[in-house]
Amino acid sequence: MVIPLLNCDMGESFGNYTLGLDSEVMPFVDCANIACGFHASDPHVMRQTVRLAIEHGVKIGAHPAYLDLMGFGRRSMAYSPEEIEDLVLYQIGALAGLCQAEGTAIRYVKPHGALYNDMARDPDLLKGVMRAVRAYDDSLPLMVMATADPEPFRTLAADMGLSIWFETFADRAYDAQGHLVSRRLPDAVHHDEATIVAQAVTLARGGALTASDGSALTLPCDTLCVHGDNPESVAAVRAIREAFGNLESA
């Protein structure tokens, strides 16, 4: 059994505004998805987050988004695939420069928010993102949403000459197709720590979740998204890390 990597969105503070408990959660994750300035962050925050990741031996990933500071990158925007390619490449380059200054490098790419969701539905947008990653460094994995039917993603990635990491969530409910249940619906987000840890362990073991319609759902899981928004989230991450440690030693 290969234990999935724990990834967390980080570096989302901006100027005088602080978001997330990056320093508290960083010791317990494997991958830091660092905002690149379009939906959150600024150059100083980005560089400080890079340094924090280096301190804890955490892989650094570019976390590009739509140019939407006001909406935190959560609003879909009408970019062409060609514009998406340039937008993503620009943000990777910005973070790469700060990484180079600190003697490290980007290890993967995970798009953020609406861009991430839109590329999962639109193959042309996904190709634009993939072209950007390939143009920068075709050895970098691209993180994509795990679904009940991962083969189209695998096929496209193979055609584009890229590797992909399928991402799952421990604190979200899924529908029968493997899509996240909308936050607007009841019980879309798990808040109980025991429930979150149990779902993380099930995903790590390759077991079946119970989808929102009661059906069994199995998802590929290379990496698991966790959050460091508040002390309760950080506690859940620590509990998942401990549970994964028990799986490795079993």
Express each pLDDT in 123-132 by its tens digit: 999 999 999 9
What's the total number of domains in the chain? 1
Q: With beta carbons less than 8 A apart as the criterion, state whether 141 and 108 touch.
A: yes
- Residue 182 is predicted with a pLDDT of 86
Is 1's pLDDT higher than 80?
no
- Could you tell me the residue range of the domain that residue 149 belongs to? 5-249
Q: What is the amino acid identity at position 189?
A: V
Q: What is the pLDDT of residue 183?
A: 83
Tokens at residue 168, please?
């799952």
Residue scoring higher pLDDT (237 or 229) = 237
Per-residue confidence (pLDDT) for residue 63, from 0 to 100? 98
CATH number of the domain residue 161 falls in:
3.20.20.370
pLDDT of residue 51: 98
Instruction: Report the distance separating Cα 183 and Cα 144, nearest Å.
Output: 19
Give the contacts of 67 (CB within 8 A, at least 6 positions apart): 38, 77, 87
Q: How many CA atoms lie within 13 A of 206 on its CB side?
A: 3
> Of the candidates 132, 41, 141, 42, which has an alpha carbon nearest to the alpha carbon of residue 88?
132
What is the SS3 assignment for 116? helix
Q: What is the dihedral of CA 143, 60, 93, 162, to 10 degrees?
A: -30
pLDDT above 80 for 38: yes
72 pLDDT band (50/70/90 cuts)? very high
**Averaged pLDDT of the chain:** 95
